A and B are shown apart, each in its own frame.
Chain A
Amino acid sequence: MKKNRIFNTITLLSASVIVFIVLAALLFTGIIDEYNGQLLTLAGIYIIVSLSLNLITGFTGQLSLGQAGFMSIGAYSSAIAMMNFHLPLVVSIIIGGLVTAVFGLLIGFPTLRLRGDYLAITTLGFGEIIRVIMVNLETYTGGAAGLKGIPSFSDTGDFLKDSIIKFSWVYVFVIITIVIVNNLINSSPGRAIVSIREDEIAANSMGINVSYYKIFSFTMSAFLAGIGGALYAVYFGYLNPVMFWFLTSVNFVVIVVLGGMGSITGTILAGVGFTYIQEWLRFFKDFRLVIFGLALIIVMLFWPRGLMGTNEFSIVKFVRKYIRKEHEGGSSKPSKIKGVK
């Protein structure tokens, strides 16, 4: 048992370090140019916010259309922490997450009685209210004109260096988010959360305090979305309430649905895919939305449960299978290895 745990931890740790080194090296050598580096960084932020949405929607079963609202609270509060209170960057980002968590807790209560469409509409309303508040809190947020001059992770003037540093920071936060969501879901409180999605009445009759775990999940989701928002603020160095209008929330729903509700790896894949497709379609201007709509319909027709369903791609299992094949002395044809459980 203990040996297994150490093996798992080492495998996951090395996997994340290897991926990082490869990406950083590709960036450094220019094989991935700065433009793509920026896109990957943005994808990282999208992944964080999408994972936060997946926690509340995919794992807890509560459809939220207000994730951009949470994101904007995190973005503005961390920007204010840096600009008005001169707090260090990382501290400000965490404050962004914590402030948003408080809002998650507060809106968690009134939404307890709401289900399905009603919950979705209420959270959508919440997101819009936040946006209007941000427009009107001009003294702190700059209002509709926006907030400029938010400190960056790195501002040396050397584009390559800056983009690698920005990427690294976001990468670290992505890994932390994945670990939080994955470890939470695969623990007893996490199973309690998933049981709510599966059958609220049965969960209740199994002794699970459904209200508590719904609010817990809302709060946790808000915290992570707030962190994502804070990174977004630092990434762009500029904020405007329009960045967080309701279609931004819809984008995250699209990512989670495409990747598979209740699949962490699905969200990661879809997050990267979405960022790139959005960029390629920039050329089509407003037609972009039509194309997105069509793409979504097509995916839903052929993969109604998203790319991954509720499955996960497990690196640990992948490595295990590979090692076993090697030990057996048989040919370890990669084509035979299916790492999807």
Chain B
Amino acid sequence: MSVMEAKSISIVFGGLKAVTNFDLKLGKGELVGLIGPNGAGKTTVFNMLTGVYSPTSGDIVLNTSREGHNYKSIIKLKPYQITQSGVARTFQNIRLFKDLSVLDNVRIAFHFNVKYNALQGILRTTAFYNEEDEITEKARDLLKIFNLQDKEKELAKNLPYGEQRKLEITRALATNPKVLLLDEPAAGMNPQETHDLMNLISFIRNKFDLTILLIEHDMSLVMGICERIVVLDYGQTIAVGTPEQISKDPKVIKAYLGEGV
């Protein structure tokens, strides 16, 4: 049973075919890697899946029921509606709310589930206080998982790079997603940090019952944790398979050799 499907999506940017006929079925609970050389179109796939760009052709569907099959097309939805439907993401170029505290970064992600309205907020009703306490507590619980609990008062921009990446994941988790899309979450981390992060990603997948699609530029990083890998090159899917199969695939080796890695 799949949670999300991309059906032959393509996008053209002024003549450049950034992604061509991309197909993907994300099974429930799967951890899938999306790899490929720089400029292959990985981030563009994310941007289509999350509604930032509309594909030139093709369809994207989301399974809205937990057990059965009830697919709805999300291709016309705005990014915030897609997030509200259960797809959250992080960004390759970190996009935190820089001048806000770590805690507020996470609390913002709870906003669309908050029931009290602006007037109740201004009048400071009991509903306001109760729900604020509730989301603050939830935000703290999430921060604990990423070992950020002691930094809740710091401004996001003052965190070290690795922690900023973790905060972005925390924030995405706070939207309570079914599908989590991570765009190069280990970029800029040292090997030890990367290793720990990969373990953490596998841990949250189990804990929150998530389906994860993970972009990684460096092939070796995802080999350990992904069940399945999709390889993009020049916007085309050149291989799909287990890490084992992918690492032996001549087309993949060639694509990466061309890059000189």
B80-128 at interface with A (beta carbon < 8 Å): 80, 83-84, 88-89, 91, 95-100, 104, 107-112, 114, 116-118, 121-124, 128
Given contacts A187-B121, A187-B128, contact A207 B83 (CB under 8 A): yes
Establish whether residues B118 and A184, one from each chain, have CB atoms under 8 Å apart when the complex forms: yes
Establish whether residues B111 and A191, one from each chain, have CB atoms under 8 Å apart when the complex forms: yes
Given contacts A198-B97, A207-B175, contact A188 B110 (CB under 8 A): yes
Q: Does A201 have its Cβ within 8 Å of any Cβ on chain B?
A: yes
Q: Among the listed A183, A207, A208, A209, which residue makes an inter-chain contact with B124, where contact means beta carbons less than 8 Å apart? A: A183
User: In the complex, what residues of A have CB within 8 A of residue B114's CB?
Assistant: 188
Q: Which residue of B lies closest to A211 (CB)?
A: B78
Q: How many angstroms between the C-alpha atoms of A2 and B123 in the bound complex?
A: 16
Given contacts A184-B118, A188-B107, A188-B135, contact A195 B129 (CB under 8 A): no
Establish whether residues A208 and B122, one from each chain, have CB atoms under 8 Å apart when the complex forms: no
Q: Which residue of B lies closest to A5 (CB)?
A: B129
Given contacts A188-B135, A194-B97, contact A205 B88 (CB under 8 A): yes
Interface size on A, as a range, is 20 to 34
Q: Does B61 have its Cβ within 8 Å of any Cβ on chain A?
A: no
Given contacts A187-B128, A198-B100, A201-B52, contact A206 B133 (CB under 8 A): no
User: In the complex, what residues of A have CB within 8 A of residue B96's CB?
Assistant: 199, 202
Establish whether residues B99 and A198, one from each chain, have CB atoms under 8 Å apart when the complex forms: yes
Establish whether residues B122 and A192, one from each chain, have CB atoms under 8 Å apart when the complex forms: no
Q: Report which residue of A1, A179, A188, A216 has the largest number of chain B beta carbons within 10 angstroms of its beta carbon.
A: A188
Q: Which residue of A lies closest to B129 (CB)?
A: A5
Q: Among the listed A184, A190, A202, A207, which residue makes an inter-chain contact with B97, where contact means beta carbons less than 8 Å apart? A: A202
Establish whether residues B122 and A205, one from each chain, have CB atoms under 8 Å apart when the complex forms: no
Q: Which residue of B lies closest to A209 (CB)?
A: B80
Q: Does A300 have its Cβ within 8 Å of any Cβ on chain B?
A: no
Given contacts A195-B100, A207-B84, contact A201 B95 (CB under 8 A): yes
Q: Which residue of A lies closest to B88 (CB)?
A: A205
Q: Report which residue of A5, A179, A189, A201 has the largest number of chain B beta carbons within 10 angstroms of its beta carbon.
A: A189
**Could you tell me the distance in whole angstroms from the C-beta of B99 to the nearest C-beta in chain A?**
6
Establish whether residues A188 and B111, one from each chain, have CB atoms under 8 Å apart when the complex forms: yes
Q: Does B211 have its Cβ within 8 Å of any Cβ on chain A?
A: no
Q: How many angstroms between the C-alpha atoms of A180 and B119 in the bound complex?
A: 9
Establish whether residues A206 and B175, one from each chain, have CB atoms under 8 Å apart when the complex forms: yes
**Could you tell me the distance in whole angstroms from the C-beta of B158 to the nearest C-beta in chain A?**
14
User: In the complex, what residues of B have CB within 8 A of residue A189's CB?
Assistant: 111, 117-118, 121
Q: Which residue of A lies closest to B50 (CB)?
A: A205
Q: Which residue of B lies closest to A262 (CB)?
A: B99
Q: Which residue of B lies closest to A198 (CB)?
A: B97
User: In the complex, what residues of B have CB within 8 A of residue A205's CB?
Assistant: 50, 52, 79-80, 83, 88-89, 91, 95
Establish whether residues B100 and A183, one from each chain, have CB atoms under 8 Å apart when the complex forms: no
**Could you tell me the distance in whole angstroms from the C-beta of B115 to the nearest C-beta in chain A?**
10
Q: Does B132 have its Cβ within 8 Å of any Cβ on chain A?
A: yes
Q: Does B171 have its Cβ within 8 Å of any Cβ on chain A?
A: yes
Contact mask B65-89 → A, CB, 8 Å, 1/0?
A: 0000000000000111001100011
**Could you tell me the distance in whole angstroms from the C-beta of B13 to the nearest C-beta in chain A?**
17
Establish whether residues A184 and B80, one from each chain, have CB atoms under 8 Å apart when the complex forms: no
**Could you tell me the distance in whole angstroms from the C-beta of B118 to the nearest C-beta in chain A?**
4
Establish whether residues A207 and B100, one from each chain, have CB atoms under 8 Å apart when the complex forms: no
Q: How many angstroms between the C-alpha atoms of A198 and B118 in the bound complex?
A: 20
Q: Among the listed A190, A194, A206, A310, which residue makes an inter-chain contact with B121, where contact means beta carbons less than 8 Å apart? A: A190
User: In the complex, what residues of A have CB within 8 A of residue B111's CB?
Assistant: 188-189, 191-192, 206-208
User: In the complex, what residues of A have CB within 8 A of residue B171's CB?
Assistant: 206
Q: Does A204 have its Cβ within 8 Å of any Cβ on chain B?
A: yes
Q: Which residue of B lies closest to A199 (CB)?
A: B95
Having A184-B121, A188-B110, A202-B95, one finds 18 other A-B pairs with CB under 8 Å, namely: A183-B121, A187-B116, A188-B114, A188-B121, A188-B135, A189-B111, A190-B121, A191-B104, A191-B108, A194-B97, A198-B98, A199-B98, A201-B52, A201-B91, A201-B95, A204-B80, A207-B175, A209-B80
The residues of A with any CB-CB pair to B shorter than 8 Å are: 1, 5, 179-180, 183-184, 187-192, 194-195, 198-199, 201-210, 216, 310
The residues of B with any CB-CB pair to A shorter than 8 Å are: 50, 52, 78-80, 83-84, 88-89, 91, 95-100, 104, 107-112, 114, 116-118, 121-124, 128-129, 131-133, 135, 171, 175
